[in-house]
Copies of this chain bind each other. A is one copy, B any other.
Amino acid sequence: MTLAEENYLKAIYHLENQSSNDVSTNALAEEMQTKASSVTDMIKKLAEKNMVSYIPYQGVSLSKAGRAYAVKVVRKHRLWEVFLLEKLNFSWDEVHDVAEQLEHIKSEKLTDKLDEFLGFPKVDPHGDPIPDKDGNFEKIDKTSLADAKEGSTYLCVGVDDSSNDFLKYLDANHISLGTTIKIIHKEPFDNSVKIKFNNVELVVSENVAKNLFLTAV
C-alpha cells in the first residue's frame, strides 16, 4: 500500500463512520481535498487490490481487508498522538499534522512497542478510541454539546473537527479533555449554548457545540 492509498482508505473509513451509506466520489474528493476524477482513478486501483468494493456511479465501501488496513492506520495515528502529547509535550492543536506523517511508518513491531511504551492507552487526545493490536476498540458513547440536556453536567471526552483553529479556540478557552461542563442554557434562536466549567461561564456557537463531544457524568 502506498502513502496515497493509505490516505484514501483512512478517508473512506472516516466517511463510512459518518453515515451508513456507501461513500460517494464527491464526498471522498472533498475529504481528500482533490478532484472527483482523481478519486475515481484511485478507487479503481483499490478495488483491484480488493481493499474496497466499488460499483460505478454507486459509490465505494471498504472490504474486510480494507477496513482492517484502515483501522491499522488509525491505530498508529492515535498512538502517535498520545506519544506527542504525553511524552513530547506537544499541545492539542500541534499533534495532528505530525501524526498524519507518523501514521504511515511501516513496522508492526514499532506500533506494538509504542503501544506498550504508552501503557496501552484506550483513547487518543481527541477522545477517539485506539484500536488494539487486533483492531478491536470500545465504542465510546458520546453526545455533542449541541445535543446535551440543559441543566445536566458532562465530561468533555472528544472533538470532531480537528482543525487547528478549533483546537486553538478550545485551548484559548481552557477547554480540554476531562473538563467538567454544565449546560446552563441553550438558546433556540441561534442554537448557541451557555456552559459553565472551572467556575467560568461561556457562550459557545452552534458550530463549536456540534464539534465538542461529551459524556454524561
Contacts and interface: CB of A to CB of B under 8 A. Distances in A.
A88 B114 CA distance: 7
Interface stretch (A25-33, A43-51, A94-102, A152-160): A94-102
Interface in A95-127: 97-98, 101-102, 105-107, 109-110, 113-114, 116-117
Contacts of A84: 110
B109 A101 contact: no
Contact of A117 (B87, B109, B116): B87
B110 A98 contact: yes
A181 to B, nearest CB: 30
Oligomeric state, in copies: 2
Given A88-B114, A89-B113, A101 B106 contact: yes
A114 B102 CA distance: 14
Contacts of A94: 109
Nearest to A97: B107
A170 to B, nearest CB: 20
A107 B88 CA distance: 13
Nearest to A106: B101
B98 A107 contact: yes
A90 interface: yes
Contacts of A98: 105, 107, 109-110
Interface of A: 84, 87-90, 94, 97-98, 101-102, 105-107, 109-110, 113-114, 116-117
Sorted nearest first, the 3 A-B pairs with minimum C-beta distance are A88-B113, A98-B107, A101-B105
